[in-house]
A and B are shown apart, each in its own frame.
Chain A
Amino acid sequence: MPIRISRTWFGKKASGETENARRQSKDRSQLRVGIPKVLNIWSTHQFWVGFLRELGIASENIVFSSDTTEEQTREYGKGRGTVDCCHPVKCMSGHYGELIFGQKKKINILLSPMIHSLPSMLHGHVLDTVTCTRVMAGPENIKAGFLKERDLFAENGIVYASPFVSLGDRDMVTGQLYPALKNVFDLDQEETERAVDAGFTALDNVTARIRRRGREILTWCAQNQKPCVLILARPYHMDTGIGHDIEADVQACGYPILWLQYLPVDIDLMHWLFESDLSVGRIKSPFDISDVWTSSYSSNTNEIMWGAKYAARCPWITCVVRFSSYECGMDQPTYTATQKIVEATGTLYFKFGDLDSTKPGGGIKIRVETIAHYLGKYSQEIILRKASYLSPNCPLGKMPNRTTTNASVAEAAPRSRAV
């Protein structure tokens, strides 16, 4: 049995206390923590994994719910919905239910954070990086469905934990997670701080790694003069039950896929893409979106606007595919603006709007064929035209053959379609 070592007065550690003994005194290796894989968990999951592992939770005991499916909602979420809203929030009932009722080895804690703000490459360049009002409040709404008649968490021996956390303001996170989780995990302030640091390190590492892959893709495209496709969507559209895996169908046509959340942001590339905007003072930095979006409060919306600007400038992104869920109030005011930003340079723009729980397989197939047709027919022309707007000193490698005269490129009318 681990021996607890008391602290001395004034909070100084007892001389005999070792890190190991302290950790042993809070053995959490048998705790199982379930996390609903929903909403902004899609872009912050590595933070939570790093945070929990630092607290001594074994990797195999960190359980994420499955991708969203209609079966999941039917089996575990039926009758638990409390209001009609967008599908990404509504489907959370199924994820909660799966973690409560669908685990062979029961979880002890259901961790569903209310994420108020997000880490973002645009932090400091925009008014705020807060999340959608529905997304941040989603856990309060969904938990109601599991508490309204009786406490289904308690009945299943599960502690429900839903800390309010501003991941966009790193210096506030420990102060938020410690009071919210201290009784759940028997935390102290110092270990919370260490766990938060570990969480952000894990998140930063994975983000940097995927961005490097993004740069490799763009570099390959530049060296081979091949087009790629940018997915302009919110993080949870990576869920195959919400984004319906549409990008995989486009990729199957032979086009590399980039997600806006993981676009490379190296300074050389940024300055090359936004050189003209910076030189005329239209923006203050490559991450400034005030030229196209003045209400820059929402993190994911801001990134969508920035991603559209990026795509409009990057020659090898010849096509943007926009995803938007049914009744998304955050996307609604951005539809026309993003399309106009992208199409300003003749980049192809396609939108899959009102995505809901049912996958419209036939419609998606026809649309993907349309996208592939336009990509095949116009990509080379688009690459040439967009490259002609930029400096020849491309950090990704050689620029396209500029034998085509500027005039003829400029005359080529943008051809884009929204389906």
Chain B
Amino acid sequence: MGQLVTIDSDIASKTLRPAVQHYQAYRPRPFTREQRENTTVLFGGLTWKHERLMQGALHNLKYKAEPLPNIAREDLDAGKELIDVGACCPTIFTTGSLVNFLKQQVTVHGTDAVNQKYVYLTAGACGPCRFGQYHESYAMALDGLGLRDFRVFLLAQDELDQGATGGGGIDIDLPLSMGLIWAILCGDVISDLEYATRPFEVNPGQTNAVLKDSIEYMYSVFNRRPQQGKKLATIAWHLTSGYFTKALREVRKKWDAIEVDRTRAKARVKITGEFWLQTHEGEGNYNIKRWLEQEDSEVLPPPVAVWLHYLMHPLIRKLEHRHSKSKHPKRDEFLLKVAERLYVATYNRFRKALADIPNELPDQMELKNLAEPFYHFELRGGEGHMLIGKALYAYHHKKAHMVCELSPYSCMPNSMSIGSMANVIGKHPDLLYAPIEVKGDAEVHALSRCQMILTEAKKRAQSEFEEVLAKTGLTVQRIREYEREHPELRRATYKVPHKGYSGTSANYVLHLAYDRQLAPA
């Protein structure tokens, strides 16, 4: 939080007026270039996989960098103690996480050392939503901890080349931004592979072991990333180099070893919601993704890449509608659309390297059009119209049996789109939709609410599996025999094409029946 500072001592001395101490917002001390070698940049907010790869990108640029420990239930209590009442749970959890880490470090190193040894880098600039105001909570918590000299810096999400920040210690330039974005994209595609594999693994634990190995390998890939200069050469290299795709193909080889059984009929659950809560894997969202898998489901995790893609689109739409203040709207629109194509193409290259198992990015125009009757695309805050768009996208394209929307208690944008979903459900009553309000300390309530919808989703998954078996005349036994003749079918990296059903097992049966002519004549 801020502090009281004497601001007019000069005037006071000239006029004999008493000096007044006005409140001033928190301002971090400079973090200079010379301090970089001895100062650790803390960061967090994504999954451990994304964070490890981002750490690789930071180490590559000679930053000392360390992700905060994964969120724990205790962080909620620590956060609540130190910030104003009524905060949303992502604010409380992330503040508490920083607080608990710093408390621990102060115990070991002392306050002064912690103030010198660490800085915290976090995302900011997200408009009026509290996501863009987390730093106010951090500042207040630091004040409460007696760590007012600890330094917190903001990273704008919409600028890749912000230059030296906060004294030159952090240089937010293209090598850093491109490294972090590429780390996120790689983290996303590996996460997709993970969630598409684990529910079907034959040997429990194998997916997690291979995943860990893959992430460590990719960490070293990012850590060894060749330097290509500061500006255009860096962009060009990232867009054209086979460096990352080659590495991802190595990852694919590791996943070839995992044996899966895709005849298990699982409910496919699309996760949507508030950015932090849907991305998180841990106690901050009751470990709901892992819980869903334990409840016989296949989870479709939300890639961070969709959010980055979305960030481009409000601007493109504004330019298209000439609602922008740009002096060159047509040129800007063209450039943004080119950037978007390159972005999607890069993501697809990474997907291809992993046998196209990771899901494609949804078309942002389609998300907008699907949401349009229910939620205006220019309404800002959180994921905006995307929550409705994504739910309808999964429904119409049969990508999932149900949608589980994770919403923090008192989240401003999420509560609005959940309300608007009432209209969507009115029009599409068979869309299985579970909006889950997450407070952080009401696990049983949230999970039981999810389970009610999940029960119906599981029934649908089972019945469509039985339907395709009946339709194709195949049996599980016949499929097993065929798999023995064609062991590649049981590899985690074998791509099962979408054949019009939501469930993986139903699509698998149809694929065998018609694409591989297994169905009886």
Which residues of A does B touch, CB under 8 Å? Answer: 81-85, 89, 114, 116, 128, 130-134, 136-138, 140-145, 147-149, 162, 164, 166, 169, 172, 175-176, 275-277, 279-280, 282, 290-295, 297-298, 301, 309, 312, 327-333, 335-337, 340-341, 344-345, 388-391, 406-407, 409-410
Please indicate the chain B residues that have their CB under 8 angstroms from the CB of A298 in the complex: 128
User: Given the interface contacts A133-B381, A164-B379, A330-B128, does A147 sit within 8 Å of B20 by beta carbon?
Assistant: no
Which residue of A has the minimal Cβ distance to B425? A148
A85 CB contacts on chain B under 8 angstroms: 410, 412, 415-416, 419
Contact B419 A332 (CB under 8 A): no
Assess whether B87 is interfacial by the CB under 8 Å rule.
Answer: yes
Report 23 cross-chain contacts, Cβ distance below 8 Å, ordered by A residue: A133-B413, A137-B379, A140-B379, A140-B420, A144-B420, A144-B421, A144-B422, A145-B419, A148-B422, A164-B379, A175-B323, A276-B20, A280-B11, A292-B25, A295-B133, A327-B410, A332-B84, A335-B85, A336-B140, A340-B1, A389-B17, A390-B17, A407-B18
Looking at A276, A292, A390, the one whose CB has the most chain B CB atoms below 10 A away is A276
Residues of chain B within 8 A of A407, CB atoms compared = 18
A163 to B382, CA, bound (A): 21
Contact A134 B8 (CB under 8 A): no
Pair count A-B, CB < 8 A = 203
Q: What is the minimal beta-carbon distance from B144 to any residue of chain A, in angstroms?
A: 10
Cβ-defined contact, A144 with B415, below 8 A: no
Chain B 129-153 near chain A by CB (<8 Å), digits 1 or 0: 1101101110010000000000000
| A136-B22 in contact given A277-B7, A340-B2 (Cβ < 8 Å) | no
B18 touches A291 (CB 8 A): no
Q: Is the CB of B4 within 8 A of A340?
A: yes
Q: Which residue of the partner chain A has the closest CB to B137?
A: A333
Q: Is B106 an interface residue (CB 8 A)?
A: no
Residues of A within 8 Å of B331, CB to CB, are none
- Rounded to whole angstroms, the CA-CA distance of A332 and B79 in the bound complex is 14
B448 at the interface (CB under 8 A from A): no
Find out whether the CB atom of B128 lies under 8 angstroms from the CB atom of A279: no
CA distance A333 to B375 in the complex (A): 27
Contacts of A166 in B (CB 8 A): 323
The answer on a CB contact under 8 Å between B11 and A279 is yes
Contact among B7, B20, B380, B425 with A133 in the assembled complex (CB-CB below 8 Å): B380
A282 x B415 contact (CB < 8 A): no
Indicate if the CB atoms of B86 and A332 lie closer than 8 Å: yes
Complex contacts, B88 vs chain A, CB 8 Å: 329
Asked if residues A335 and B413 are in contact (CB atoms below 8 Å), the reply is no
Q: What is the bound-complex CA distance between A143 and B422, given in angstroms?
A: 10
Contact B411 A329, beta carbon cutoff 8 Å: yes
CA A89 – CA B415 in complex, angstroms? 11
Q: How far is the CB of B310 from chain A (nearest CB, A)?
A: 15
Q: Looking at B322, B374, B382, which has the most chain A CB atoms within 10 Å of its CB?
A: B374
Nearest CB in chain A to that of B124: its residue:
A295
Closest CB in chain B relative to A330 CB, distance in Å: 7
Q: How far is the CA of A141 from the CA of B412 in the complex (A)?
A: 12
- The 5 lowest CB-CB distance pairs between A and B, nearest first, are A133-B381, A276-B8, A141-B419, A148-B426, A144-B423
Contact string against A for B residues 318-353, beta-carbon threshold 8 Å, 1 for contact and 0 otherwise: 000111010000000000000000000000000000
Q: Do A136 and B380 contact each other (CB < 8 Å), given the known contacts A277-B22, A406-B18? A: yes
Q: Which residues of B contact A275 (CB under 8 A)?
A: 11
> Which residue of B7, B18, B137, B381 contacts A282 across the interface (Cβ within 8 Å)?
B7
Chain B contacts to A: CB under 8 angstroms = 1-2, 4, 7-8, 10-11, 15-18, 20-25, 84-88, 124, 127-130, 132-133, 135-137, 140, 321-323, 325, 374-376, 378-382, 410-413, 415-423, 425-426
Q: Are A295 and B132 in contact (CB under 8 A)?
A: yes
Give min CB distance, B91 to chain A, whole Å.
8
In the complex, how many angstroms separate the beta carbon of B248 from the nearest chain A beta carbon?
37
Task: Indicate the member of A128, A132, A134, A407 with the most B CB atoms within 10 Å.
Answer: A134
Q: Are A172 and B323 closer than 8 Å at their CB atoms?
A: yes
Nearest residue in B to A389 (C-beta to C-beta)?
B20
- A134 and B4 contacting across the interface, CB-CB below 8 Å: no
B residues less than 8 Å from A279 (CB atoms): 8, 10-11
Known: A136-B380, A144-B419. A337 touches B410 (CB 8 A): no
Q: A148-B422, A332-B87 are in contact. Are A134 and B415 (CB under 8 A)?
A: yes
Q: With A389-B18, A406-B16 as known contacts, state yes or no: A137 contacts B132, CB within 8 Å.
A: no
State whether A336 touches B1 (Cβ < 8 A).
Answer: yes
Q: In the docked arrangement, what's the CA distance between A166 and B323, Å?
A: 10
Task: Write the chain A residue with the least CB distance to B4.
Answer: A344
Q: Least Cβ distance of A291 to chain B in Å?
A: 6
- Within the complex, what minimum Cβ distance (angstroms) separates B216 from chain A? 37
CA distance A141 to B381 in the complex (A): 14
Asked if B10 and A280 make an inter-chain contact with CB atoms under 8 angstroms apart, the answer reads yes
Would B128 and A292 count as touching, CB distance under 8 A?
Answer: no
Name which residue of chain A comes closest to B388, CB basis: A140
A137 with B416, Cβ < 8 A, contacts A276-B8, A333-B87 known: yes
Tell me the smallest distance from the CB of B389 to a CB of chain A, in Å.
13
B18 touches A137 (CB 8 A): no
- Whether the pair A169, B325 counts as a contact (CB closer than 8 A) is yes
Q: How far is the CA of A279 from the CA of B421 in the complex (A)?
A: 53
A134 to B415 Cα, complex, angstroms: 8
Give the shortest distance, in Å, between A253 (CB) and chain B (any CB). Answer: 28
Contacts of A162 in B (CB 8 A): 376
Q: In the complex, what distance in Å separates the CA atom of A176 from the CA atom of B1? A: 39
User: CB-CB < 8 A to B416: which residues of A?
Assistant: 83, 85, 89, 133-134, 137-138, 140-141
For B407, give the chain A residue with the smallest CB separation: A83
- CB-based contact A327/B2 at 8 Å: no
List residues of chain B with CB within 8 A of the CB of A328: 86
Kindly report which residue of chain B lies nearest to residue A143, judged by CB atoms: B423
Complex Cα spacing A170 to B79, Å:
41
When C-beta atoms are compared, the residue in chain A nearest to B127 turns out to be A297
Contacts of B426 in A (CB 8 A): 144, 147-149
